[in-house]
Amino acid sequence: MTKCTLPLPPLLASPRPLLLISALLLGGCEGTLYVDIQGDAPSVDGQLELEVTEIEFLHSDGTSYAYDLDETLKFDEDGLSLKSLIDGTELPEGYYDTINLTIDAGDSEYDHDGDSGTDERDIDGSTITASITDHRFKISEGKVVSLILHFSTFASLPAADDDDDEQELVPVMTFNHAENSHDLSVTLEGDDIISSYCADTDDQLPRLYLFDTNDSDSNNDVDGGDDDPLRVVFAQSSSSENISRVWALPNLKTGSFRIALSCDDDDPSEDDSLSFFCETAIDFSESTSVLLNSATTDIGCSV
């Protein structure tokens, strides 16, 4: 085994330099980590603003490596495009089992309708932590690792009463490796489908639910359970003259998935019974555009 000899980092290279110095004295080797974050829209018109103050990585040996942040994440009707959190930092090699992102609730807020005049709610609480504990990543000597965090805004925002002046935030976050991430675009053409399944909604913009095919064959709502969808995405097109509906899923991990659409109300804090339509299986290995049309099938659509 090759033993690394590493220079001591500058004092300001990490907010916890003593931990890094300890790792170096033990002969640990290092790799480089980059971290970006993105997220879906919180609602059709809503805006979520989060102030993040720290990101922490927990090594499998129990050591914590934390980095101060001063970033404002703004999720609007188009979601949050890729934003850098860690622009290359050295970490000791090994497996990291947990990522914690600290949110300052006092400087965060949610505007349900996005008009900056009504339905503005402060985020309830003081400090909130978004954690990833079910997916580890590995740092290897001399290697570069690029992670993309995905903040699921819809799943993180339980429905609030109309007279509430505070919004509960229950963060749901995942990550992918950048080299295994690609963009998926889904387009639905057919006003007859929209009219049939979304007749009771004003905007007639169904949500797209993305499921892992390794999970149960049945589709589920968002309720905080193990069989929750991987992502919930709002349609981007709302023009009454445009019968197409478009969903964008950037930086999605490669794999096999199911997509399904729904216009039913879904409270992320409750186990709701939803009606789904246009269910379709997708094998995803590169950036892809999928077109659904109004051919008559059991699900109301075909690819």
The per-residue DSSP string of 135-169 comes to --EEE-TT-EEEEEEEE-HHHH-----TT-SEE--
**Distance, CA of 23 to CA of 4 (rounded, Å):** 11
pTM, 2 dp: 0.84
- Predicted pLDDT of residue 21: 47
Calculate the alpha carbon distances from 130 to 17, 100, 171, 174 in Å: 24, 6, 5, 10
Q: Classify residue 42 as exposed, middle or buried by CB count within 10 Å of its CB (0-12, 13-18, 19+).
A: buried
Residue with token string 């079910």 = 134
Please answer whether residues 138 and 172 qualify as being in contact, where contact means their C-beta atoms are separated by less than 8 angstroms.
no
Residue-level pLDDT at 32: 98
- What size, in residues, is the chain? 303
**What sections of the chain are H helices per DSSP?**
17-25, 153-156, 191-197
DSSP 293: B
* CB neighbour class for 292 (10 Å; exposed up to 12, middle 13-18, buried from 19): buried
Extract the residue ranges of the chain whose pLDDT is less than 50: 1-3, 5-15, 17-27, 238, 296-299
